[in-house]
Chains A and B, each alone.
Chain A
């Protein structure tokens, strides 16, 4: 049976309306109007696993993908080449320089988040001053992922974050197949958050095994669930909203290893109210970032 083009287009338009996805002019005007009510900010993105020799080339590749899904802004952090364990201070600074170059190319589409290494606390504190206090970056993390975040080495970094009122994105996983050496779990983050009740944390990946991660962070009100970087497994966002409240759930993608599509889908496809989706897709992140953005004269 030949394809009935009209039927296919009609069906697709219905699907996009249901998903709240931007659609091209050839589809129904109703579908086109359905998008635009969410301001999507992405708390978790990298330049790794992308083609391009420079940070500028790589973010140029990302922006069209953002446009197609209506993503307004990225928070971009380290990651360009092969995974780097226990980086030196020079390597840490090089990572941050790359991020600042990418952000400079599209200042209206990305902010930078500083990469730090608890192996080198003093250098990390200097990097905080260079990149946030005196530079263009607006948040912290992901931090080096092979030092468990319950380490006391994190304490001065967190104190600095409290003093500047910036949130911290912390990588966490609970892998059935075993975590890597030094890889943090949500339990580690809860320990850190209890030591620093005035700090604001985003639990990266919500531990990956999110049914555990959500329960682990539930009582720690200064930890939000970051939903980036796991399969788009149905029920994740519904459970997070049910157990934490929509105001403690934050969208991120973990591009380039992941796609924007699979991660935005976790929110767009969740059976939760639009008001909750608005918070998760950007409202909560803008709330956390508002103090530092205002201090820098930037708009949330």
Chain B
């Protein structure tokens, strides 16, 4: 089982069980995970993104060699951000990056975002965009971060054909001007995790709106209980081959095409 959405280190507002890399790896292995794509909670608020990425790469190597796959962060609003992208690719040998547009104060209509996507695609890097990290209703009052509006992707993605984009935590989808998930998914090579997918039959609905080949297992662990994602797949009543594709096959195929 490949978990495409885990996070290392500490969430700024709460201690989480599994927020130490060693504990996280031990628990994920016990739960049946064989590979985990890991971002860093530190990337949300730290300006020294280069340092964040070094610690992420080191922790993945030290505690999860051949298990944790680091997804470094690039913030295109920081000075000299292209150097962070270069280091992720050339120094840390990462296969992808994870972006947090709402925490980094840019929208998906920002030209810097488009440039970052183009450069990442040119390097063959996967790009994960976290549309949200937490229910806006429960956020710390002094740190309110609305979800990312994915609407600009519809036009943007078709202009970057080599891009492989993964939208994480799409649960707080929408706003009055946001196109439905089906419209965005048609724009190009967009994949979805299902950590924040909700409702009875929600996963089946997501697959119907996108594609059985575009939905991947993602837990948002350790912020969420891992079992939430596990039970969503388990209770969806999917054909067995489709279950396997979500648990592992789609992520493996995406990784292969990116490399």
Give every chain B residue within 8 A of A145 (Cβ-Cβ): none
Is A89 an interface residue, CB under 8 A from the partner?
A: no
Q: Are A21 and B225 neighbours in the complex by a CB distance under 8 Å?
A: no
**Using an 8 Å CB-CB cutoff, how does the interface string of A41-57 with B read, 1 for contact, 0 for none?**
00000000111000000
**Which residue in B139, B196, B226, B256 is a CB contact (below 8 Å) of A269?**
B226
Cβ-defined contact, A268 with B231, below 8 A: yes
Q: Which residue of A lies closest to B248 (CB)?
A: A8
Instruction: List, in ascending order, chain B residues with CB within 8 A of A264's CB.
Output: 227, 231
Other-chain contact of B237, A49, A64, A233, A259 (Cβ < 8 Å): A64
CB distance from A256 to the nearest CB of B (A): 5
Identify B17's interface contact among A1, A16, A175, A234, CB under 8 A. A234
Pull 8 A–B residue pairs with CB atoms less than 8 Å apart, ordered by A: A19-B31, A21-B234, A61-B200, A208-B137, A231-B135, A235-B15, A264-B231, A265-B226
> How many of chain B's residues have a CB under 8 angstroms from any CB in A?
48
B200 touches which of A175, A255, A270 (Cβ 8 Å): A255
Query: Contact: B34 with A235, CB < 8 Å?
Result: no
Cα distance A22–B247 when bound, in Å?
17
Which residue, of B34, B234, B249, has the highest number of chain A Cβ atoms within 10 A?
A: B234
B137→A269 contact, CB < 8 A: no
Of A68, A209, A231, A258, the residue contacting B234 (CB under 8 A) is A68
Q: What residues on A are CB-neighbors of B135 within 8 Å? A: 208, 230-231
Which 4 pairs between the two chains have the least Cβ-Cβ distance?
A15-B32, A269-B225, A261-B231, A269-B227
Q: Is A197 an interface residue (CB 8 A)?
A: no
Q: Does B228 contact A (CB under 8 A)?
A: yes
CA distance A51 to B248 in the complex (A): 30
Q: Give the size category of A's interface with B.
A: 35 or more
Contact B225 A3 (CB under 8 A): no
Could you tell me if A16 and B230 are in contact, using CB atoms closer than 8 angstroms? yes
Task: Evaluate contact between A259 and B225: CB separation under 8 angstroms.
Answer: no
Give the complex CA separation of A235 and B16 in angstroms: 7
Is A233 within 8 A of B1, CB to CB? no
Question: CB of A300 within 8 A of chain B?
Answer: no
Contact call A5/B225, Cβ cutoff below 8 A: no
Cβ of B214 within 8 Å of any chain A Cβ, yes or no, is no
Q: In this complex, what residue of B is CB-closest to A15?
A: B32
By a beta-carbon cutoff of 8 Å, the part of chain B in contact with chain A is 1, 14-18, 30-34, 134-141, 144, 171, 196, 198-202, 221-228, 230-232, 234-235, 237, 240, 244, 247-249, 252, 256
What residues of chain A have their CB less than 8 Å away from a CB belonging to chain B?
1, 3, 5, 7-8, 11-16, 18-19, 21-24, 26, 49-51, 61-62, 64-65, 68-69, 173, 175-177, 208-209, 211, 230-235, 238, 255-262, 264-266, 268-271
Q: Known interface pairs A3-B244, A3-B248, A49-B199. Does A260 touch B228 (Cβ–Cβ under 8 Å)?
A: no
- Residues from chain B with a CB closer than 8 A to the CB of A23 are 234
Interface contact B227-A176, CB-CB below 8 Å: no
- B198 pairs with A258, CB closer than 8 A: yes
Provided the pairs A21-B234, A176-B136 are in contact, do residues A232 and B224 lie with their beta carbons within 8 angstroms?
yes
A199 to chain B, nearest CB (A): 28
Q: Are A257 and B136 in contact (CB under 8 A)?
A: no
Residues of A within 8 A of B234 (CB): 16, 21-23, 68-69, 261
Q: Using known A-B contacts A15-B31, A15-B32, determine if residue A265 contacts B227 with beta carbons closer than 8 Å.
A: yes
Measured between alpha carbons, how far is A173 from B231 in the docked complex, in Å? 26
Contact A18:B235 (CB < 8 A) given known A1-B256, A230-B138, A257-B198: no
Knowing A12-B1, A232-B228, say if A260 contacts B32 (CB, 8 Å): no
